[in-house]
């Protein structure tokens, strides 16, 4: 079977009834490894999907967007997990001059969307363009936006694949405890979700991300690449 010759509704009909592990296993029957992109923030929820990939496709490359604003604990955690699972992690870096500008002018304060665009989205564009499927660890219970997603969603020229979408928090925690998976060190200090230093505070769930603002996603997931495609077609 060739997933690339199927439309998104057909893919969802096949993958929706499967559990999260079967979805990931089946993905590699439909698509070649080099067609598949996986990015990880090595945050508090990342270990679940990283562990599944370690079990099912340990050779899958992991792309880490190094915004230069990560907590030191995140960088150490990334090294720990990569070493424990023997994973190949590829650092994705923003443009040095543009990154320096966001630092000099503290763009995360007055221009958080542009800061994310420069340091997270733009560096990933050429990598996304080389792949057909993008594995994402989003779960429905995390945010309102995520609660409306399907297992497969079209985003620009790439398909987003959400194998964990309908898992509940209890099952998620059971998996972590059962396999004794390493947890992000800042989780024990009250950080429910972890991104860049300047835009992350303590709080349950994602309440500490972009606190006191209407922003709750960096832009990788909602529709950045859709907007880009629309602009190119105008």
**CATH of 36-233 among 3.90.1150.10, 3.30.1490.70, 3.40.50.620, 3.40.50.1970:** 3.40.50.620
The pTM of the full predicted model, rounded to 2 decimals, is 0.85
Give the C-alpha separation, 3 to 11, whole Å: 7
The residues spanned by each domain of the chain are: 36-233
- Cα–Cα distances (Å) from 212 to 71, 202, 203, 209, 222, in that order, read 20, 12, 12, 9, 20
- Which uninterrupted H or E stretch holds 61? none
**Using the 8-state DSSP alphabet, how is residue 134 labeled?**
E
Confidence of residue 192 (pLDDT cuts 50, 70, 90): confident
Is pLDDT above 70 for 231? no
Strand 158-161 versus strand 152-155 pairing type: antiparallel
Tens of pLDDT, residues 61-105: 999 999 999 999 999 999 999 999 999 999 999 999 999 999 999
126 is written with which tokens? 């050429």
Backbone angles phi, psi at 80, to 5 degrees: -60, -50
- 218 noted as active-site residue: yes
User: With 90 as the cut, is the pLDDT of residue 56 above it?
Assistant: yes
What pLDDT shows up at residue 156?
82
Residue 142, classified by CB atoms within 10 Å of its CB into exposed (0-12), middle (13-18) or buried (19+), is middle
> In terms of C-beta density within 10 A (0-12 exposed, 13-18 middle, 19 or more buried), how is residue 182 classed?
middle
Instruction: Indicate the DSSP class of residue 219.
Output: S
Give Cα 159 distance to the centre of its chain. 14
Among residues 115, 196, 199, 218, the one annotated as catalytic is: 218
């Amino acid at each position: 079977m060739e997933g690339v010759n199927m439309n998104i509704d057909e893919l969802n009909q096949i993958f929706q009834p499967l559990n999260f592990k079967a979805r990931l296993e089946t993905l590699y029957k439909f698509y070649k490894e080099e067609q598949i992109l996986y990015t990880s923030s090595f945050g508090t929820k990342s270990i679940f999907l990283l562990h599944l990939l370690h079990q099912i496709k340990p050779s899958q490359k992991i792309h880490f967007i190094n915004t230069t604003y990560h907590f030191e604990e995140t960088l150490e955690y990334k090294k720990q997990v990569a070493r424990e699972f023997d994973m190949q992690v590829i650092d994705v870096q923003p443009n040095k001059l543009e990154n320096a500008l966001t630092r000099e002018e503290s763009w995360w304060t007055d221009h958080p969307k542009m800061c994310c665009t420069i340091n997270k989205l733009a560096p990933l564009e050429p990598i996304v363009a080389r792949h057909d499927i993008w594995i994402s660890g989003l779960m429905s219970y995390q945010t309102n936006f995520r609660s409306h997603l399907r297992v497969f969603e079209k985003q620009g020229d790439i398909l987003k694949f959400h194998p964990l979408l309908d898992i509940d928090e209890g099952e998620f925690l059971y998996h972590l405890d059962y396999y004794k998976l390493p947890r992000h060190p800042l989780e024990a200090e009250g950080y429910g979700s972890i991104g860049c230093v300047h835009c992350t505070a303590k709080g349950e769930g994602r309440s500490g991300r972009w606190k006191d603002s209407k922003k709750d996603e960096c832009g990788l997931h909602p529709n950045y690449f859709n907007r880009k495609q629309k602009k190119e077609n105008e």
